[in-house]
Structure 1
Amino acid sequence: MSFLLSLLPFSFLKKFHFPSGREVNEDTMFDKTNAEMLQQRVKLVSVALVISYPIYIYIGFSLLQHAGTSQFRHTLIGIHFTSFALSSLYLFFYYFSKRKERFANYLSTIVYGYILYYVFAAALSTINSQLFTGRIDVYMMLLISTAVLCPMKLKHLCIIFIPNHLFLLYGLSRYVPDSFSLISKQINTTAAVAIALLISYILYTYRHKEYMSHLQLKESERNFFTLFKINPYPLLLTRLSDHKVLLINNKAIHFYNLASQDLDQIDGFIIYPTDEDREEILKRLQQEKYVKNYILEAREYGDSKWVMINYELLEYQSESCILAGITDITDLKAVEHELSLHASTDMLTGILN
């Protein structure tokens, strides 16, 4: 097989994308997260329906007692009773699966079955309403609501929508005698299905991209944290809003003699020489996003040291932060002073040149 693949042009193979194990794992994690979201939202919908179903049942038994045909009333009451029972059953299984983890794997399948039933119930109610009001807006509203509240893979939603819609089209052809009205209702409901599928696809794709971006951001932060800790130069990361120290590596702790202090006790202003310099540096950071090779003398912590600091404004955990990289140039300053002394003073007499 590998020999045959080697005969294919490389440019042809580049057109195909073979998902890596990491991509498959990330997709699996997203599917699990999306399934949990669907379970939660269906639970909330079920609670709302269980609370409101007694009102619908009262309307079916009392207010609509003499409205429409007996077939219309019996079908409507049957739909309400069945929906109430299934909503209650879902809530029972939902809370039961939270206690028994082995049943949690079946909850996603039950969610899809639950949504399938309610789309079927909407289609059946719409067909049944042709015996009384002839309205189709409830079916169309439920399609759009399902797409918005329960975004899922397009193939799964097609499996739910298309058979039910075909059932609706057949039922309308049986109970709508006027051909013009029939065609109008079939076109409008079909357009609602197409719009609902498009909305669900857009929302699902957006959620998928947002989830992947979130994972990439988390991975970038982990890599940043790792490189931050192992960097051979002192590094500090402070929050721009209050200058709180968020990260400091061991090199910086040793450099500033901060081993005895907790992270919350470290003063974020140690990376600035004076208040005036701090204002200048912050102003330049706002304008240029970085300040390179800023030389200053640190006197407050231990012995006097000359340092060169690079500042950079960046985003960390969705907050604006300042990364300061410190280089100890004390030895270079000593050499510079020695050279300056040799250049300005006669070494034999000690008199200025």
Structure 2
Amino acid sequence: MKLFKTLINKINNSIKKRRLDSDEVLEFDRINNVLCLNRIKVISIALIVLSIYFFYADCFLFNTFKCEIYKRTLFLIHFIIFDLSIIFLFFYRWIIKKNDYDGIKIQKLIIKFYVFFSVLLGTITSINSQRLTDNIYNYIIIIFFTAILFPIEPKYKLFVYLINHIFFILKISNASYDYYKMLADQINSTTVVVVAIFISFSMYKYKIDEFLRKNRLKESELNFKKLFEVNPFPLFITTIKDGKIIMANKKAMKFYGISEEKLKMLDSEDFYKNTDERKLMIEQLKNEKSIENYIVEHKKLSGEIKWVISNYKILDYKGEKCILGGVTDITELKRMEDKLAGYAFIDPLTGISNRRKGLESLKELINKTQKGNYEFAICFIDINGLKKVNDLYGHKEGDFFIITVCNTIKSSIGKEDILFRYGGDEFIILFPDKTKEEVDIQLKQINNSIDKLNRIKNKPYKISISIGLYYYESNMNLTIDEIIKFADDKMYEQKIKYRNNRKIY
């Protein structure tokens, strides 16, 4: 008795360590009840089917057996099993739908009654079997059966097993004719009961631990979803394998202009302007597990392009490798950056490319000639008489002079041609991949435009320019400075002729 009391205290202490609050107890009981009731349902169906064989055995197979008490007891047990199974199945739907507090208590009582009655019937069947086979198999089977299949409170299981085992021990002591066999049966059955108690405790403990794990997991997932939703930046979770969007917060849906219904039909590639960007990102992510401050162009559902700075991290979500991604819209910053970058390459007076940008363009053309059969022309232009205009009419008029000449040249060349201010009153035009004839036509157009300008502009000075032209071909190997010098020298030749008052083109 002292041993059982110690066992009960250990069970209580162990379960107290995993104590659930009132809401968790109710939820645990509800889940556990559904599990046990579904198992009773399956067992009941199986027993109804087996009852056909049981009744056949009772009526025909044991017909010649002379012990009437055995036959009547066996028939009564089978009849009770059949009736209780039918009754349970009849009320099953009503029982399983009872999810309120009182309903859960009723479910627990039904399960406890079923366990107690199952063990009792197993006990009676084994005692009855002493009249025929003298074995205790039914008792052992039902003890293990209830210990494994019904994870209910160990205290109640202990009570059921003790009451029935005491009854069983007393009955087989009176029914057995072989003392040593009776002693062996008592020892074996007691061992089975002790093992069953520990199994029951372990199963119940496992169920509580599993429930707590799932509960904590649900809480963690709920907290994650809350943080995910309240985050001020667009967030989304996608699968690595096929880019399917599992979840997106409201900020993300608003940013990309999508609804929850549309979200299910899209994948992450739909948000990239260039889908190869995602493939590169995935490869980098597989190697590094996370990516920070990745600048990329994303696409809204409407087709509008947005520059974003994104952060990605691989995580396990619901058993699948996924990507947690967050983006920040930097479209306006990017525009400002491009604008500022433009200022670095734009001449503030004329609005065309400055020397720095122009020389970069010239370098690119030289590189093209080195890769294949490619040629271009460079035209060095100097405004004649700018110093005189500045001295006589002021620098404001001089600036107007420069702008007027620049706009005239710009309107006379093709879109593919590159015009930049080299410095002061000097300009350079690059004619990519054009023949000498095509360039000559363009230069004549410039001269004609300036002549026209002189006719319509009522200015006290004449607008004119000096031009130096140089052709660069793929077989040449000259530096940028050398190319410009050749064009400058040609321009200077014309400048001297202009000063001698000779108009030569």
Range class of TM-score, shorter chain: 0.7 to 0.9
Point out where structure 2 has 5 or more consecutive residues left out of the alignment.
Answer: 1-15, 358-505
Deviates more, 1:249-258 or 1:95-104: 95-104
1:173 aligns with 2:177: no
Q: Which whole-Å deviations, capped at 9, do the CAs of 1:286-342 have from their partners, x for residues lacking one?
A: 344322221223367655443211111223344332221002234444555566567
Retained in 2: the 8 A contact 1:35–1:108?
yes
Distance in 1 (CA, whole Å) between partners of 2:323 and 2:344 is: 39
Check if 1:60 corresponds to 2:65.
no
Match of 2:147 in 1: 147
1:51-73 Cα shifts (integer Å, max 9, x gaps): 22232133123222333633322
Q: Does structure 2 retain, via aligned residues, the 8 Å contact 1:313–1:323?
A: yes
Aligned partner of 2:78 in structure 1 is 80
- Counterpart CA distance in 2 for 1:318 and 1:128 is 52
Query: Partner residue of 2:320?
Result: 319
Please give the residue correspondences for 1:137-286 in structure 2 after superposition, counting only pairs within 5 Å. 137-258=137-258, 262-270=262-270, 272=272, 274-286=274-286
Instruction: Choose the corresponding residue for 2:89, options 75, 88, 91.
Output: 91
C-alpha change, 1:171 and 1:283, in structure 2 (3 Å) is: farther
C-alpha distance in structure 1 between counterparts of 2:218 and 2:113, whole Å: 34
Flag the 1:95–1:144 CA change in 2: closer, same or farther, 3 A: same
Distance 1:245 1:189, change over 3 A: same
Q: Deviations over 1:125-182 (max 9, x none)?
A: 1112112111112211121122222221211211221111111111121122323212
Give the conservation status (yes or no) of the 8 Å contact 1:68–1:132.
Answer: no
Change (3 A) 1:48 1:332: same
Aligned residue type for 1:24: S
3-state secondary structure, aligned to 1:352:
helix
User: Does the 8 Å CA contact 1:49/1:84 hold for their aligned counterparts?
Assistant: yes
d(CA) in 1 for partners of 2:235, 2:163 = 61
> How big is each residue's C-alpha offset from its partner over 1:241-269, in whole Å with a ceiling of 9 and x where there is no partner?
33222322333234334469822344411
SS in structure 1 of the partner of residue 201 of structure 2: helix
Deviation per CA, 1:41-95: give whole Å up to 9, x if none: 1122122212222321331232223336333222222222222233233333334
Q: CA 1:194–1:271 in structure 2 vs 1: closer, same or farther (change >3 Å)?
A: farther
Change (3 A) 1:34 1:210: same
Matched, 1:309 2:310: yes
Secondary structure of residue in 1 paired with 2:194: helix
Amino acid at match of 1:229: E
Match of 1:157, as an amino acid? K
Residue 116 of structure 1 pairs with residue 120 of structure 2: no
1:326 maps to a residue whose letter is V
Counterparts of 2:26 and 2:98, CA distance in 1? 22
Q: Report SS of the residue matched to 2:327.
A: strand
More divergent stretch after superposition (189-198 vs 90-99): 90-99
1:41 aligns with 2:45: no
* Contact 1:346 1:352 survives alignment (8 Å): no
Instruction: Check if 1:351 corresponds to 2:352.
Output: no
Flag the structure with larger Rg: 2
CA distance in 2, matches of 1:293, 1:127: 77
Contact 2:274 2:297 (C-alpha < 8 Å) held by counterparts: no
Please tell me whether the aligned partners of residues 271 and 324 of structure 1 are also in contact (alpha carbons under 8 angstroms).
no
Higher relative contact order, structure no. (Cα contacts within 8 Å, ≥ 6 residues apart)? 1
Question: What is the CA-CA distance between 1:213 and the residue it aligns to?
Answer: 2.3
| Match status 1:133 vs 2:133 | yes
The AA in structure 2 aligned to 1:133 is T
Give how far 1:98 is off: 5.8
Aligned to 2:455: none
Partner of 1:13: none
Which moves more between the two structures, 331-340 or 129-138?
A: 331-340
Residues 53 and 298 from structure 1, CA distance in 2 versus in 1: closer, same or farther, beyond 3 angstroms?
closer
Structure 1 letter corresponding to 2:54: Y
Whether contact under 8 Å (1:39, 1:108) holds in the other structure is no
1:271 Cα deviation after fit: 5.1
Please give the secondary structure, in 2, of the residue aligned with 1:25: helix
- What SS class does the counterpart of residue 282 from structure 1 fall into? helix
- Match of residue 496 from structure 2: none
CA distance change for structure 1 residues 97 and 256 in 2, over 3 Å: closer, same or farther?
closer
8 Å CA contact retained: 2:233, 2:326: yes
Instruction: Report if the CA contact (8 A) 2:272-2:299 is conserved.
Output: no
Q: 1:330 to 1:84 in 2, by over 3 A?
A: closer
Q: Which moved more, 1:309-318 or 1:264-273?
A: 264-273
- 2:170 partner SS: helix
Judged with a 3 Å threshold, the aligned counterparts in structure 2 of structure 1 residues 285 and 163 are, in CA distance, closer, same or farther, namely farther
1:266-288 deviation digits (Å, cap 9, x = unpaired): 44114556444323322333344
Partner letter of residue 244 of structure 1? K
Query: In structure 2, what residue type is equivalent to 1:324?
Result: G
Which amino acid in the other structure matches residue 323 of structure 1? Answer: L
Determine if contact 1:344/1:352 at 8 Å carries over to the other structure: yes
Instruction: Report if the CA contact (8 A) 1:312-1:324 is conserved.
Output: yes
Asked if 2 retains the 8 angstrom alpha-carbon contact of 1:234 and 1:326, the reply is: yes
Q: Given that residues 34 and 96 in structure 2 are in contact (C-alpha distance below 8 angstroms), is that contact kept between their aligned partners in structure 1?
A: no
2:25 to 24, 27, 33: 27
Match of 1:262, SS?
helix
Q: Read off the aligned partner of 2:316 and give its amino acid letter.
A: E
Of the structure 1 ranges 300-309 and 39-48, higher mean CA displacement relative to structure 2 is found in 300-309
CA RMSD of aligned residues (A): 3.2
Amino acid at match of 1:203: M
Q: Are residues 296 and 71 of structure 1, via their aligned partners in 2, closer, same or farther at CA, if it must alter by over 3 Å?
A: same
- The answer to whether 1:292 aligns with 2:289 is no
User: Residues of 2 paired with 1:148 and 1:298: CA distance?
Assistant: 56
Contact persistence 1:143–1:192 (CA under 8 A): yes
Distance 1:267 1:87, change over 3 A: closer
Q: Which amino acid aligns with 1:308?
A: I
**Whole-Å separation in 1 of the counterparts to 2:19 and 2:53:** 51
One-letter amino acid of the structure 2 residue matched with residue 352 of structure 1: R
